Copies of this chain bind each other. A is one copy, B any other.
Amino acid sequence: MIDDDLVFKALADPTRRFLLDLLFMVDGRTLTGLESELAMTRFGVMKHLRVLEEAGLVITRRQGREKLHFLNPVPIRQIHDRWIDKYTEHRTAALLDLKRELEEGP
C-alpha cells in the first residue's frame, strides 16, 4: 500500500508519461538528451525523472558523467493485474480491439 502509491503518483503527470513514451521508443537516454525534447528547464526534467526512478518505473545506470535512463514495464503490468482478473482479461482486450477497429475504419 506504500510503494504502489509512488507509481500512481508518478504516472499522474503528463510530462512524466511523455518521458516514459520517449524511453519506450528509444531506451537508455540521458538527462540532457531527454531535456532537448521538452519545453522545460533541465531542473524540471530532473525532478520528473527522479520521481519516475523512485517509483521504479525508470531504472538508471551511471556511465562516466552521464546517467542513462531505462524504462521498467513491471509496475505497469502490476496495475493491470490489480483490477483485471484472468477471466475478464480476454473479454476486455477483445473489446478494445473492436473499439480500435471501429475508430480506424476498414
CB distance from A79 to the nearest CB of B (A): 6
Contacts of A71 in B (CB 8 A): 83
Oligomeric state, in copies: 2
Instruction: Give the size range of A's interface with the partner.
Output: 20 to 34
Give the interface segment out of A32-40, A59-67, A88-96: A88-96
Chain B CB within 10 Å, residue with most, of A73, A84, A96? A73
Interface of A is mostly: helix
Interface residue? A9 (CB, 8 A):
yes
The interface of chain A, by Cβ under 8 A from chain B, is 1, 5, 8-9, 11-12, 14, 17, 20-21, 24, 71, 73-74, 76-84, 88, 92-93, 95-96, 99
